[in-house]
């Protein structure tokens, strides 16, 4: 298992997204009939072949305006997929959930990490679970509110943005408050990854600014995960639907890596792996003799 404290030097990790949902904003949801587990396993195999380092399995859509589901339904979606992947591969698996009950079932099925889009604030049991199991946890910044969502047919949902006195400063403060929750429960500092929460409670301009200034989040001293893949800030910037946002995603990844991202969360693994290897090579050349 990859551990945040032992990320490989000089190499950006790629996390492939497996959405076991019928309503993913990106159009890649797998819970749409047929043998969902088989379809997810085939996609996981392809991601692994394409060079993914981590697979992120989620059973509830977090797109703007999406509906919540019960923990029981979420478990029914993700656990069989995690079990099937684990039977074939030792790849690191994270479970994308904010519910401790789901995370516990996923870890029992073979997942390694918890990826919490509410950074331990939605379920007070999550921090205790992470500490007890030793699972690394991704803490994502999130000030989303359902009433702040703008919906446009081609471009999808976009948050109007939360009230920030100082965008970067407020994001830093919020993330460190979640770090404190984690550490108070007993989660080691070296098991924590931070995510600035691109697309969650931020306007288009705020998302762009967060990526451009990601190095300021990096100063907090934790590995950073960046997840801009196919998100609506790209669609609104380029006037493109989710299926046409690859180039915009890759541009965001390139800047994010240059600004300090250690892990990138993506739908298009093959292209992202090539992008990360090229950006890593360019950045690594700075310290090499000519």
Q: Is the dihedral of CA 273, 275, 277, 280 positive or negative?
A: negative
Given 63, 77, 99, 231, which residue is catalytic?
A: 231
Separation between Cα atoms, residue 86 and residue 59, nearest integer Å: 17
Task: Single out the residue of 225, 270, 261 nearest to residue 56, CA to CA.
Answer: 225
Separation between Cα atoms, residue 31 and residue 254, nearest integer Å: 31
CB proximity list for 47: less than 8 A, separation 6 or greater: 16, 18, 55, 269
Q: 148 in helix, strand or coil? A: helix
Separation between Cα atoms, residue 68 and residue 59, nearest integer Å: 10
202 is catalytic: no
231 is catalytic: yes
Q: 89 in helix, strand or coil? A: coil
- The tokens of 238 are what? 């380029």
Given 265, 274, 277, 288, which residue is catalytic?
A: 265
Among left, alpha and beta (phi > 0; psi -120 to 50; other), residue 192 is: beta
State the catalytic residues: 231, 265
């Amino acid at each position: 298992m990859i551990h945040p404290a032992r990320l490989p030097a000089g190499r950006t990790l790629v996390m492939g997204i497996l959405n076991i949902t019928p309503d993913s904003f990106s159009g890649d949801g797998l819970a749409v009939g047929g043998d969902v587990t088989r379809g997810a396993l085939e996609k996981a195999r392809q991601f692994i072949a394409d060079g993914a380092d981590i697979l992120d399995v989620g059973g509830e859509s977090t797109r703007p305006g999406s509906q919540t589901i019960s923990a029981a339904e979420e478990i029914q979606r993700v656990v069989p997929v995690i079990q099937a992947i684990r039977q074939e591969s030792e790849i690191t698996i994270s479970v994308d959930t904010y519910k401790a009950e789901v995370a516990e079932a996923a870890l029992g099925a073979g997942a390694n990490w918890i990826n919490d889009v509410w950074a331990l604030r939605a379920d007070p049991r999550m921090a205790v679970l992470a500490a007890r199991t030793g699972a690394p946890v991704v803490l994502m910044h999130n000030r989303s509110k359902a009433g702040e969502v703008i919906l446009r047919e081609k471009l999808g949902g976009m948050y109007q943005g939360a009230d920030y006195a100082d965008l970067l400063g407020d994001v830093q403060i919020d993330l460190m408050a979640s770090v404190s929750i984690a550490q108070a429960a007993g989660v080691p500092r070296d098991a924590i990854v931070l995510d600035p929460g691109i697309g969650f409670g931020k306007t288009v301009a705020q998302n762009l600014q967060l990526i451009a200034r990601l190095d300021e989040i990096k100063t907090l001293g934790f590995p950073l995960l960046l997840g801009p893949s196919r998100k609506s800030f790209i669609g609104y910037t380029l006037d493109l639907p989710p299926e046409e946002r690859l180039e915009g995603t890759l541009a965001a990844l390139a800047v994010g890596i240059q600004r300090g991202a250690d892990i990138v969360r993506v739908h298009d693994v093959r292209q992202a792996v090539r992008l990360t290897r090229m950006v890593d090579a360019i950045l690594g050349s700075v310290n090499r003799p000519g």
